[in-house]
Structure 1
Amino acid sequence: MTPDFPAMSGSLHQAPHSVGPLGPLGHRPQPAAPAPKPFWRRTGTVVTSAALIAALFGGVTGGVVGAMNAPDPTVGTAGASVALQTSNQSTVDVSAIAAKVLPSVVQVNVATAQGQGIGSGVVLSADGRILTNNHVVSGAQQVSVTLDDGRTVDAKVLGTDPTSDLAVVQAQGVSGLTPAAFADSDGVKIGDQVVAIGSPEGLQGTVTSGIVSALDRKVTVPGETRRSTPVNYQAIQTDASINPGNSGGPLINAAGQVVGINSAIYSPASDSGSAGSVGIGFAIPANQAKQIADQLT
């Protein structure tokens, strides 16, 4: 499966990212603290080819078992039909949201010194400008993107902003892509229905649903190196399932508009290999993400 970022000292941590002695972003795991504390984890991933195959198999199996055991699942795929009941008895059609937004979401594939990485991205322009997280492409020696129609094309990094954990890449030789629509994230309210789309564990086009569970949640993640400035932002918190591989993908409102860029998860486990969704994920607000993206291009 897509691996996790190893834990660093302190209570805030990066998400699953690599298999073996090197942790996410190439850092070696730090000695375990006497009493493990909860961690924030980034949700990008880096794995070796063999690990990726095992991860994909395990991810699919787990998904099937979960679906079979859950009488009222809240996780769907592009072809699934899921409706969320709101307090005023109206429904949010997740299938319609997925159909509208999936063409604007890509899988970001990277090759680093540690192995193969997977993240997600949001289409900004018809000619292939794509917004993702900085930690998805950090250290990448090669980058490509897999489009919603199944094509994989080369890409290059246009710009990065490590302090906000955002980056923009350019897909090569493409046209006619569907740019995502961005909402005013200042209008997001606690309890709003939202949908997350991305490639958790390398499973492209995965759609999960939930609500906005908190706003202005301060998230601080250690920098990529000991000398790097930590990443800080006031996040949108959601219980929509977010896992390694979702990084850079969109958090969508009921109108099919991007309200945030999924970036981190909370994990009570200090073991990077066991990190996964516990129903507490974090997204960089769309207003901040769009402003930084415009500056990077």
Structure 2
Amino acid sequence: MSGLGTPRGPEFRSPDWSAAPDPAAAVAAPAARGRRLPAAALAALAVVGLSAGTGGVAGYVAGRDEPVATAAPSQGGVPSDLVGAAARVLPGVVSVQVRTGQGGASGSGFVFDDRGHIVTNNHVVAAGGVRGGAVTVVGSDGRRLTAEVVGTDPSNDIAVLRVDDGSALDRLALADPNGTRVGEPVLAVGSPLGLSGTVTAGIVSALDRPVRLGGSSRQTAVQTDASINPGNSGGPLVNARGEVIGVNTAIATLEGGGSIGIGFAVPIERARQVADSLIARG
């Protein structure tokens, strides 16, 4: 029996890359501080980054004083408004691919404005050691575009990319930051395990959940039970209106496992402020 684990991130590469993952990157020692999980819980519940590549492990730890809540069971059937939301959102979501001499990293992103800016996670581009260089984004129609890294903010795990042909992608609407409610239905959209255009449904499980991004100071996050996995990093968490309420950044996982229905997203208002600042600085 142990508390929340220390930072660790699953190594992941898109299926068409030949480099093999490093199994050592998935090993972490459990943390003994703070409240302990009930005796029935399995060992080493960790909060980990959703995407990692050669040269970097992306991991995040939840606040030590926060109990872990069990995700609400999913309801039978998918609301029709989520079907419409998925149709509106998918054209504005991209797969982000970073290639290096040692392999590469993969994640997701979404179109932030009409000038070709794309928001993703810092750990997606940092895993490849890229700053000011070029990466590739792939749209929902399969179109591949070269992108440059405009700027990164490791403390908030946000990065901004830019493509020259911004008209080729659809900008997503951003939600009212004060309108998100616990229990409302949401979609996590992205490229988990390299499977682009993947949509999973869930609810907002909690708001203002303290998490530690990049090993730095605590930040608050949106918690969701929508299934998110390695490769979802940087993709949008959207409400039933197709508006972005957060940027998917981390999951809680039992040691050695994948998504267990507890994921975390950077709230859209903080992501917007960081993105605007990075764009202004160029």
TM range (shorter): 0.7 to 0.9
What is the match of residue 203 of structure 2? Answer: 211
Q: Deviations over 1:72-93 (max 9, x none)?
A: x98xxxxxxx953xxxxxx443
Identical residues among aligned pairs (%): 46
Q: CA deviation at 1:22?
A: 6.3
| 1:285–1:92 CA distance, 2 compared to 1 (3 A) | farther
In structure 2, which of residues 15, 19, 22 is the aligned counterpart of residue 20 of structure 1? 22
Residue 274 of structure 2 is aligned to residue 264 of structure 1:
no
Distance 1:189 1:21, change over 3 A: closer
- TM-score when scaled to structure 2? 0.76
Indicate conservation of the 8 Å contact 1:13/1:221, yes or no: no
Counterpart in the other structure of 1:239 = 225
SS in 1 for 2:53: strand
Shift of 1:170: 0.8
Sort the Cα spacing of 1:231 and 1:158 in 2 relative to 1 into closer, same or farther, 3 A: farther
Equivalent position to 1:254, from 236, 240, 244: 240
1:31-46 equivalence runs, <5 A? 32=29, 37-46=44-53
Query: Which residue number in structure 2 is paired with residue 51 of structure 1?
Result: none
Between Structure 1 and Structure 2, the one with more helix by share is: 1
Does structure 1 residue 290 correspond to structure 2 residue 282?
no
Distance 1:171 1:43 in 2: 23
1:99 Cα shift?
0.7
* Alpha carbons of structure 1 residues 33 and 104: separation in structure 2 relative to 1, 3 Å: closer
Query: 2:110: which partner in 1?
Result: 122
Structure 1 residues 67-146: aligned runs within 5 Å = 83-84=77-78, 91-112=79-100, 114-138=102-126, 139-140=129-130, 142-146=134-138
> Alignment RMSD, CA only?
2.6
Partner of 2:173: 181
2:275 paired with 1:281: no
Residue deviations 1:165-216, cap 9 Å, x none? 0000012344242110001222211101101100000000000001011111
Contact 2:156–2:213 (Cα < 8 Å) also in 1: no
Alignment check: 8 A CA contact 1:252 1:259 kept = yes
Report the AA paired with residue 11 of structure 1.
Answer: G
CA contact (8 A) 1:144 1:152 kept: yes
Q: TM-score, normalised by structure 1?
A: 0.73
Rounded Cα–Cα distance in structure 2 between residues aligned with 1:47 and 1:93: 39
- Mapped partners of 2:23, 2:257: distance in 1: 17
The structure-2 alpha-carbon separation of the partners of 1:175 and 1:222, relative to structure 1 and needing over 3 Å to count, comes to closer
**Take 2:147 and 2:110, find their aligned partners in 1: how far apart are those partners?**
14
Matches within 5 A, 1:187-206: 187-206=179-198
* Number of matched pairs: 236
Using the alignment, how far apart are the partners of 2:31 and 2:251 within structure 1? 23
Secondary structure of the structure 1 residue equivalent to 2:11: coil
SS in 1 for 2:178: helix
Query: What is the DSSP-based 3-state SS (H/G/I as helix, E as strand, rest coil) of the residue aligned with 2:167?
Result: coil
Q: How many angstroms apart in 1 are the aligned matches of 2:30 and 2:208?
A: 29
Distance 1:103 1:280 in 2: 26
- Kindly tell me: are residues 146 and 181 of structure 1, through their superposed partners in 2, closer, same or farther at Cα, counting changes over 3 Å? same
Partner of 1:6: none
2:158 to 158, 166, 173: 166
Structure 1, residues 101-132: CA drift from partner, whole Å, max 9, x if none?
00110000001354221100010123421000
Q: Which amino acid aligns with 1:211?
A: I
Structure 2 unaligned residues grouped into runs of 5+: 13-20, 33-42, 56-73
Secondary structure of 1:277's aligned partner: coil
